[in-house]
A and B are shown apart, each in its own frame.
Chain A
Amino acid sequence: MRGYLPPVEVRVPATLGEALTLLAAEPGLWTPLAGGTDLMVVFNAGHLKATRFLDLSRLTELRGIAEDNNLLSFGSLSTYTDLRECRAVHQHFPNLVKSAQVTGALAIQNRGTLGGNIANASPAADTPPSLLAYGAELELVSVLGSRRVAYASFHQGYKQMDLAPDELVAKVLVPKPTGRGFHYFRKVGTRQAQAISKVCLAAYARLEKGCVAELRIGLGSVAPAPVRARAVEQLLLGQPLASLPIEAARLALGSDISPIDDIRATAHYRSVVTGNLLAQMLRELTQA
């Protein structure tokens, strides 16, 4: 049933320039709104402090997936469904397809956006681990111009981002893997469908001469923000696939994560399950 609705002001800019001008004029006053799948949950519960919103959903400049020889460039308004329906995403980034498939169900996937998943900055979001595994970059825009940042350094703490109040995430740039690749993605939630992650692990490795030539592991729900498992990556880099030090990797994981107890799982459960997913990923990598 309809509850009390606090007064809000919503602007619906027709162009990206108009949106950025408003953000520059009153930085921090306007809360961007894309698909609404996170924001409206908080608003409906009466917990949203913001009262002024900038509806980005009509900005065609932020839509579409473009491909060139080296990368795929996702407009930040690309929905999970857009990702699932794009052949090039299936071809180059199977982990991203899996991330999109397990984010809510179809009705959420039709509305939720990649940029929103990033800028909402939930540690439990499911596309960030895959974006970390693939070494994604972000293109941030403001009236002053645009800049590129490595996604791995974008999240700086719980809901803290390298994003100025007058900036928007415009594009997500993901380099196409080259050579012989290994892709792994697994999310653990309470049920198969429509669950929020307790733990999520995505990995990409490039294999060369029977060794790990390149490796990135992205983790969700085990730190204040999505994180790379840098200590584990360091340990495994250059190792021969036939004898990966799985138990040592499990131990190294301890310094990469800082899980907490919350409504979805305990810190202990998260530590054990992250270790299990890592071990499973490495056993598959051994066979790759």
Chain B
Amino acid sequence: MADQIMLSLKVNGQSHSLQVHPFARLLDVLREDLRFTGTKEGCGEGECGVCSILLNGRLVNSCLVPAVQAQGGEIVTVEGLADGQRLSSLQDAFLTQNGAQCGFCTPGMLLAATDLLQRNPHPDEAAVREGLAGNLCRCTGYVKIVDAVQTAAREAR
């Protein structure tokens, strides 16, 4: 079809090629076409951060990325954080510090926090809060999430 494009991208290290609408949201390409359903949809307008992923090493809201701009991109989703059955130290810290409650914001939080720790391995509380400022959580009040990120940072020391 003329209104579709052939999209090639890498998700968690694996190459994929598929026909998509050029303005399909990267979020839908990941969830519905490629079945990476760990990434969630919240507001759909870049306000809540639930759909956060890494695109070419940068944190982005996948609901605002049209497929055409993901052409040739390298993507990391929450499915790409663990090494097989071994959780990342950040995922571990979310478990031990009770950083997840209902769990819906958790994939986005984990990606935002992964990105933060890559840029700043030992963030103070203000830096954690800024790094997660685009990710809303309606359960935890954020305190345990901040604890989890700082615990992971301490354990990496």
Interface residues of A (CB under 8 A from B): 1-2, 5, 7-10, 12, 33, 36-37, 40-41, 43-45, 53, 55, 57, 81, 104-108, 110-111, 192-194
Q: Are B61 and A107 in contact, CB atoms less than 8 angstroms apart?
A: yes
Q: How far is the CA of A107 from the CA of B135 in the complex (A)?
A: 9
Query: Chain B residue with minimal CB distance to A12?
Result: B68
Q: How far is the CA of A191 from the CA of B5 in the complex (A)?
A: 40
Residues in B neighbouring A108, C-beta threshold 8 A: 46, 61, 64, 134
Q: Are A8 and B3 in contact, CB atoms less than 8 angstroms apart?
A: yes
Q: Which of A7, A43, A194 contacts B134 (CB 8 A)?
A: A194
Q: Are A110 and B58 in contact, CB atoms less than 8 angstroms apart?
A: yes
Q: Are A44 and B63 in contact, CB atoms less than 8 angstroms apart?
A: yes
Q: How far is the CB of A32 from chain B (nearest CB, A)?
A: 13
Given A108-B134, A110-B58, decide whether A2 and B32 contact each other with a Cβ distance below 8 A. yes
Query: Chain B residue with minimal CB distance to A79?
Result: B58
Nearest 10 CB-CB pairs, A to B?
A: A105-B134, A193-B133, A105-B133, A7-B3, A10-B22, A110-B58, A2-B28, A40-B64, A41-B45, A107-B61
B residues contacting the other copy or chain, number (CB 8 A): 35
Q: How far is the CB of B4 from chain A (nearest CB, A)?
A: 10
Check B47 for interface membership: any CB of A closer than 8 A: yes
Q: How far is the CA of A10 from the CA of B67 in the complex (A)?
A: 11
Query: Chain A residue with minimal CB distance to B108?
Result: A107
Q: How far is the CA of A45 from the CA of B24 in the complex (A)?
A: 13
Residues in A neighbouring B136, C-beta threshold 8 A: 194
Q: Are B133 and A110 in contact, CB atoms less than 8 angstroms apart?
A: no
Q: How far is the CB of A263 from chain B (nearest CB, A)?
A: 14
Q: How far is the CA of A107 from the CA of B115 in the complex (A)?
A: 10
Residues in B neighbouring A104, C-beta threshold 8 A: 46, 134
Residues in A neighbouring B148, C-beta threshold 8 A: none
Q: How far is the CB of B51 from chain A (nearest CB, A)?
A: 9
Q: How far is the CA of A81 from the CA of B25 in the complex (A)?
A: 22
Q: Are B59 and A40 in contact, CB atoms less than 8 angstroms apart?
A: no
Total A-B contacts with CB atoms under 8 angstroms apart: 96
Check B107 for interface membership: any CB of A closer than 8 A: no
Q: Are B69 and A107 in contact, CB atoms less than 8 angstroms apart?
A: no
Q: How far is the CA of A53 from the CA of B67 in the complex (A)?
A: 13
Q: How far is the CA of A41 from the CA of B65 in the complex (A)?
A: 10
Q: How far is the CA of A44 from the CA of B62 in the complex (A)?
A: 12
Q: How far is the CB of A187 from chain B (nearest CB, A)?
A: 14
Q: Are B65 and A36 in contact, CB atoms less than 8 angstroms apart?
A: yes
Q: Are B134 and A36 in contact, CB atoms less than 8 angstroms apart?
A: no
Residues in A neighbouring B61, C-beta threshold 8 A: 37, 107-108, 111
Q: Are B60 and A107 in contact, CB atoms less than 8 angstroms apart?
A: yes
Q: Are A106 and B115 in contact, CB atoms less than 8 angstroms apart?
A: yes
Check B52 for interface membership: any CB of A closer than 8 A: yes
Residues in B neighbouring A41, C-beta threshold 8 A: 45-46, 64
Most buried by A among B5, B22, B44, B136: B22
Residues in B neighbouring A37, C-beta threshold 8 A: 46, 61, 64
Extra pairs beyond A7-B3, A40-B46, A40-B63 (17, CB < 8 Å)? A5-B24, A8-B21, A9-B3, A12-B68, A36-B65, A37-B46, A37-B61, A43-B23, A44-B44, A53-B23, A55-B69, A81-B58, A105-B49, A105-B133, A107-B52, A108-B61, A108-B64
Q: How far is the CB of A171 from chain B (nearest CB, A)?
A: 22
Against A, the Cβ 8 Å flags (1 = close, 0 = not) of B111-150 are 0100100000000000000110111100000000000000
Q: Are A107 and B24 in contact, CB atoms less than 8 angstroms apart?
A: no
Residues in A neighbouring B47, C-beta threshold 8 A: 194
